[in-house]
Structure 1
Amino acid sequence: MTSTPDTSSDASLDKSTTFTGWASTGTIELKKWSYHPRLLSEDEIEIEITHCGICGSDIHTITSGWGDLKYSPCIPGHEVVGKVVVKGANTTHQIGDLVGVGGLISSCGNCKHCKTGFEQFCPERTFIFNDTFKDGRGGLTYGGFADRLQVHGKFAFKIPDGLSGAEAAPLLCAGLTVFNPLKTLGAGPGKKVGVIGIGGLGHLGVQFARAMQCDEVVAISSGDSKREEAFKLGATKYINSSKPEEMKAAHQSLDIILYTSTGKNIDWSGLVDLIGNRGKLVVVAFLGESLGVPGYPLNVRHISISGSIIGGIETTKEMIAFAAKHNVRSLVEVMPMSNATEAIQRADDGHPRFRVVLDASK
Structure 2
Amino acid sequence: MSAASQDSHFVGWIGHDNKAIGNMKWEPYTPKQWEETDVEIAIEACGICASDLHTLRSGWGPANYPLCVGHEIVGHVVRLGNEVKHLRLNQRVGVGAQSGSCLECEECSQGLEPWCRRGLVGTYNGKFKDKQGNPIGASYGGYAKFSRVPAHFAVPIPDGLDSAVAAPLMCGGVTVYNPLRTNGCGQEGFKRVGVVGIGGLGHFALLFAKALGAEKITAISQTRSKEELARKLGATDFIATSEGPDVFAQHRRSLDLLITCNNNGDMPLDKYLTLVRPLGKIVAVGIPEEKMMPTPLAQLAFSGVFLGGSLIGGPGVIQEMLELAAKQNLEPMIEKRNMKDANQAVVDMEAGKPRFRYVLINEDYKAPDRAAL
| TM above 0.5 | yes
**Contact 2:264-2:291 at 8 Å conserved across structures:** no
Shift of residue 354, structure 1, vs aligned partner:
0.4
Q: CA deviation at 1:263?
A: 4.6
Percent identity over the alignment is 39
Q: How far off its partner does 1:113 sit?
A: 1.3
Q: 1:177: which partner in 2?
A: 175
CA distance in 1, matches of 2:292, 2:67: 29
CA distance in 2, matches of 1:125, 1:203: 27
Give the TM-score normalised by structure 1. 0.92
1:47 touches 1:83 (CA, 8 Å); kept in 2?
A: yes
Query: 1:252 deviation in Å?
Result: 1.4
CA apart distance, 1:264: 4.8
- Supply the distance in 2 between the matched residues of 1:339 and 1:128 (Cα, whole angstroms): 21
Mapping 1:94-109, distance limit 5 Å: 94-109=88-103
How much has 1:227 moved relative to structure 2? 0.6
Aligned equivalents of 1:57 and 1:253: distance in 2? 32
Partner SS state of residue 71, structure 2: coil
Q: Aligned letter for 2:98?
A: L
Q: Does 1:16 align with 2:6?
A: yes
Q: Residue in 2 aligned with 1:141?
A: 139
Instruction: Supply the RMSD in Å over aligned alpha carbons.
Output: 1.6
Q: 1:50 aligns with which of 34, 40, 44?
A: 44
1:86 correspondence with 2:79:
yes
Secondary structure of residue in 1 paired with 2:248 = helix
SS in 2 for 1:356: strand
SS of equivalent to 1:178: helix
Matched, 1:291 2:293: yes
Q: Deviations over 1:230-251 (max 9, x none)?
A: 1111111111111124332111
Counterpart-to-counterpart distance in 1, 2:292 and 2:12: 36
Aligned residue runs from structure 1 range 179-258, under 5 A: 179-190=177-188, 191-244=191-244, 245-258=246-259
Could you tell me which amino acid in structure 2 is paired with residue 15 of structure 1? S
Letter in 2 for 1:128: T
Preserved CA contact (<8 Å) 1:45 1:84: yes
Deviations along 1:172-213, one digit per CA (max 9) or x if unpaired, are 001110011111111114421000001110001001111111
Q: Which secondary structure does the structure 2 equivalent of 1:201 belong to?
A: helix
Q: Tell me the CA shift for residue 169 of structure 1.
A: 0.5
Alignment of 1:283-322 (within 5 A): 283-287=284-288, 288-322=290-324
Q: Which amino acid aligns with 1:246?
A: V
Shift of 1:303: 0.8
Letter in 1 for 2:128: F
Which of 114, 120, 124 is matched with 1:120 structurally? 114
Does structure 2 retain, via aligned residues, the 8 Å contact 1:49–1:82?
yes
Q: Given that residues 195 and 219 in structure 1 are in contact (C-alpha distance below 8 angstroms), is that contact kept between their aligned partners in structure 2?
A: yes
Greater displacement, 202-211 / 310-319: 310-319
Alignment equivalent of 1:25, drawn from 13, 16, 20: 16
Shift of 1:163: 1.0
Could you list the per-position Cα deviations for residues 218-239 of structure 1 after superposition, in whole angstroms to 9, with x for gaps in the alignment? 1111111111111111111111
**Aligned partners of 2:48 and 2:70 also within 8 Å:** yes
Q: Which amino acid aligns with 2:184?
A: G
* CA displacement 1:6-42 (0-9 Å, x = unmatched): xxxxxx9443332010011122121112023345322
Shift of 1:350: 1.0
Distance in 2, matches of 1:65 and 1:23, equals: 17
SS at match of 1:173: helix
The Cα offsets for residues 243-295 of structure 1, whole Å up to 9 and x where unpaired, read as 12433211111111100025552222211111111111111021322322333
CA deviation map 1:138-162 (0-9, x unaligned): 1111110000001111110111111
Aligned partners of 2:273 and 2:31: how far apart in 1? 48
What's the counterpart of residue 336 of structure 2? 334
Number of residue equivalences: 350
Whether the aligned pair in 1 keeps the contact of 2:263 and 2:293 (CA below 8 Å) is: no
Cα distance in 2 for residues equivalent to 1:230 and 1:265: 23
Look up the SS of the partner of 2:94 in the other structure. Answer: strand
Label 1:69 to 1:198 Cα distance change in 2 as closer, same or farther (>3 A): same
